A and B are shown apart, each in its own frame.
Chain A
């Protein structure tokens, strides 16, 4: 059988094996590339850098474990940056599993790397509340209508960080990480636009193209997929070199990502070549 025929009738499982190898080999041998923050990611970094000490930042965990490989690097990097700048971090979740992810991030990043930070004074977990975009619409005018306690059940009025907080307008920045609904888009539509509050965040790569139209007027920045997370990590390490020695899963996993994309592109080119050969031979229209 000529090469053309073999390529034309290639078994899909052969492609799967190539894809698997293109991921496994860079993972095992730790092949990584340098990342440079693009303007849309750098904007988020610059905004956090520009906020004065004690500014209030919401970090909403609007995702589940299924998309964690893409989103978690962003959550880790943002948490580090916010606390490094001595801003006040308010974790919350519009998705039920987001609460557990926020708790896990707190244990792994805040408690392990920022032991001097005090819960209730420097960071807070408001937990998950049902209601989706309707929840955002309510807390835009009255936060305490929905949040009477934090995630641990502590009365909201007894928490130092909640003094002077009436609604979303009292926050300096809203960051949403997710990709599904509700997510970043709902934060823009129901909080950012009507409340004139800066909104930014990260989303799964598959949903990122739908969010680009909101940049830069309605959304000040966006991290799209694993690449966005890796770019933010690189921006963070550039200004705070101490994080070079910490985990940076976004950058680490972009190596396999780049190699796998290369393999996919090769197969796309092969597919196109066989298609045009077939068309020339009059086999297909």
Chain B
């Protein structure tokens, strides 16, 4: 990255300071930076998804682009149908295109219910794909990883932590006696886990702050040599 007071660096630094200024109090510069960020992000993703998804996967594949431009693109389903008289498999993309278009019916109050069909398709296919994957990786493989010989402190901690954590979430029996003790140990394991997660979260957020300060003080101002 170019260092010093270049135009792009200066704009980036001002925007960074504008966003950070919210910590002091809400102000017009922050509002400007926030709106700019939202607008640029929306624009970026729209253009990116259009050129990565809609254009190559739908318009080019079906042959719609070829109908309206003279660009050197492989013939699509429409061209194959016209030139070879063959119905190409690519016409299946039309179904996806129609389902995608149906999502937009949400914008029309009377026809909003139609958008449930593509949503049902997405939920159904995703559930189907995830069911086997999660069962294999998050249930069976995790279970296998927990069945360990108690020959090291690490293994003992994993086994006790897992069993006691599960006992805490077992509500069919009152947490008294052995069950109560195990549930209490389970809570301690959970608390330590939450603490570790919180520590990592702090580190993550600090890293972002350090990254921006590094940009301001090193890249932009050049104070760190």
Contact = CB atoms under 8 A, between A and B. Distances in A.
Interface of A: 13, 16, 19-20, 23-24, 27-28, 30, 66-70, 96, 128-130, 133-134, 137, 188-190, 193-194, 204-206, 208-209, 213, 217-218, 224-227, 249, 253, 256-257, 260-261, 264
B24 interface: yes
B52 interface: yes
B101 to A, nearest CB: 18
B203 A66 contact: no
A189 B137 contact: yes
24 contacts: A13-B23, A13-B24, A19-B209, A24-B217, A27-B213, A66-B208, A69-B212, A70-B204, A96-B48, A129-B52, A130-B53, A189-B133, A189-B137, A193-B133, A193-B137, A193-B141, A218-B145, A225-B200, A226-B210, A253-B211, A260-B209, A260-B210, A261-B202, A261-B203
Given A28-B223, A130-B52, A261 B201 contact: no
B137 A260 contact: no
User: What 8 A-B pairs come out closest when comparing CB atoms?
Assistant: A69-B211, A205-B204, A206-B204, A205-B203, A205-B200, A226-B207, A96-B48, A70-B207
A125 B123 CA distance: 32
Contacts of B204: 70, 204-206, 225
B207 A130 contact: no
Interface of B: 23-24, 45, 48-49, 52-53, 57, 129, 133-134, 136-138, 141-142, 144-145, 193, 196-197, 200-214, 217-218, 223-225
Contacts of A130: 49, 52-53, 57
A107 B205 CA distance: 28
B206 A260 contact: yes
B217 A193 contact: no
Nearest to B142: A213
Given A67-B208, A217-B144, A260-B210, A226 B203 contact: yes
Contacts of A224: 200
A24 B213 contact: yes
Nearest to B212: A69
Nearest to A129: B52
Nearest to B205: A206
A27 B224 contact: yes
A176 to B, nearest CB: 15
Contacts of B218: 27
B207 A194 contact: no
Contacts of A137: 129
A264 B209 CA distance: 14
Contact of A256 (B49, B53, B210): B210
Contacts of B142: 213
A228 B193 CA distance: 19
A212 B148 CA distance: 17
Contacts of B205: 206
A27 B208 contact: no
A205 B13 CA distance: 25
A24 B215 CA distance: 11
